[in-house]
Amino acid sequence: MERYNGLGTGLSNLFLLSDAKSRSICAENYTGEKSKAGMATEGMGKNCARDLGEGWKVSPYFMLEAGQTVTIADIDGSGAIKHIWTTVNSRYVILRIYWDDSKLPSVEVPMGDFFCNPFSTHYQVSSLTVCVNPNKGLNCYWEMPFNKKCRITVENLDINPYYFFYQVDYVLTEVPEDIGYFHAQFRRTNPLPYKSVYTILDNIKGKGQYVGTYMTWGVNNNGWWGEGEIKFYLDGDDMYPTICGTGTEDYFGGAYNFDVNGKYTEFTNPYSGMPTVIRPDGLYSANQRFGLYRWHITDPIRFEEDIKITIQALGWRSGGRYLPLQDDISSVAYWYQTLPISPFPKMLTKDELEII
């Protein structure tokens, strides 16, 4: 029987022994090296540990300064990222992940959006792949294998520094050559032009599977906003997609406007959720805003050559007619695919990212 390599996330393989090597990177061990954690003599906790010395939480975090880009993980060899934890849910800190020899990032997403919490306030998320716990404990459980190398950077677009607490848990192990590499891409359109569709993903070439969507939706009209259909164009689809949804709330696992007794109802579960509903306060907070996720864990959408994903923004107008909306919409697309990757759209500036 072939030796278990430590990959996979199911309960059914937890009892299998493996030669995979467990490692972890944080501010107490920037390299993840064996027997090198907790050795800091300098760090943000030095004064707190002045009576205790080395090994007593001397370096629990670092300061990510305004305009600074920092490499928080640089791993050589084959293996897989198993878990990422941080407390930084800012939309102004950009997470990038590079696989193997690629000069282009396969992940380029604002931290808050990547962890389904871009609104600078804690919103509980209880899913299989993203968990957000009190208070702003952001956890990612997407497994991310790599054959040669993994490099993770964070860029601070803000004018303010951040206390950067983080941990990257991974294994060093043999990885099949035919793996799909984890990807995540951010987009925003504000406002969506009249009678246009919102593009979640485009210009993706290669073989892979689409595994998840996170969206924020700022509504600029009265009434229900989610009649629009999501469409997946696969492997050469032109005018018409292979997969077409029946409504925005339907795609995110809800029904009938998420409306219970005349009120939008938050929910979060392993595969889908609407953990965020921001309601107008009658004063300065004038717009409704929503945060929604849908993970295709048991139903990944496979593609052989290419994939494009769009979603309509539709409400209602007089006479029982659809109203094409001009809303503030952003998204994160999550998928696995072969390398190389096509260049992503240029990351937005701080002002273009700001939720106002």
pLDDT digits 0-9 by tens, 225-283: 999 999 999 999 999 999 999 999 999 999 999 999 999 999 999 999 999 999 999 99
Note the pLDDT of residue 1. 47
The number of residues making up the chain comes to 356
Domain ranges of the chain: 181-340
Residue 78, CB half-sphere, CA atoms under 13 Å: how many? 13
C-alpha distance from residue 314 to each of 61, 197, 230, 323 (Å) = 44, 9, 11, 5
Is the model's pTM score more than 0.85?
A: yes
Query: What does the alpha-carbon distance between residue 36 and residue 42 come to, in Å, rounded to a whole number?
Result: 14
Report yes or no: 349 and 210 within 8 Å, Cβ to Cβ.
no
* pLDDT for residue 4 is more than 80: no
Note the pLDDT of residue 9. 66
Report yes or no: 248 and 325 within 8 Å, Cβ to Cβ.
no
Work out the mean pLDDT of the chain and round it to a whole number: 96
* Least confident stretch, 6-10, 38-42, 50-54, 187-191: 6-10
* pLDDT for residue 2 is more than 80: no
How would residue 3 be classed by pLDDT, with cut points 50, 70 and 90?
low
Report yes or no: 181 and 99 within 8 Å, Cβ to Cβ.
yes
Structure tokens at 134: 């009190």
The CA dihedral of 45, 22, 75, 344, to the nearest 10 degrees, is -100
Q: Average of pLDDT values for 330-341? A: 97
Note the pLDDT of residue 332. 98
- In this predicted model, what pLDDT tens digit does every residue of 63-101 receive, in sequence order? 999 999 999 999 999 999 999 999 999 999 999 999 999
Query: What does the alpha-carbon distance between residue 291 and residue 117 come to, in Å, rounded to a whole number?
Result: 8
Label residue 36 exposed, middle or buried (CB < 10 Å: 0-12, 13-18, 19+). Answer: exposed
Query: What does the alpha-carbon distance between residue 201 and residue 342 come to, in Å, rounded to a whole number?
Result: 12
- Strand spans (E) along 206-298: 208-218, 230-234, 243-244, 267-268, 272-278, 289-295
* Least confident stretch, 21-30, 36-45, 69-78, 132-141: 36-45
Structure tokens at 6: 């430590």
Total Cβ atoms within 10 A of residue 179: 18
* Least confident stretch, 6-15, 220-229, 275-284, 327-336: 6-15
* pLDDT for residue 127 is more than 90: yes
* pLDDT for residue 129 is more than 60: yes
Q: Average of pLDDT values for 203-215? A: 97
Query: What does the alpha-carbon distance between residue 117 and residue 18 come to, in Å, rounded to a whole number?
Result: 35
Structure tokens at 165: 């607490």
Q: Average of pLDDT values for 185-205? A: 98
* pLDDT for residue 125 is more than 50: yes
- In this predicted model, what pLDDT tens digit does every residue of 285-327 receive, in sequence order? 899 999 999 999 999 999 999 999 999 999 999 999 999 999 9
The DSSP annotation for 298-317 comes to SS-EEESSEEEEEE--EEEE
Residue type at 134? P
- One of 2.40.40.20, 1.25.40.10, 2.60.120.1390, 2.40.50.1070 is the CATH number of 181-340, namely 2.60.120.1390
Note the pLDDT of residue 120. 83
Instruction: Find how far residue 316's CA is from the centre of its chain.
Output: 31
Report yes or no: 58 and 41 within 8 Å, Cβ to Cβ.
yes
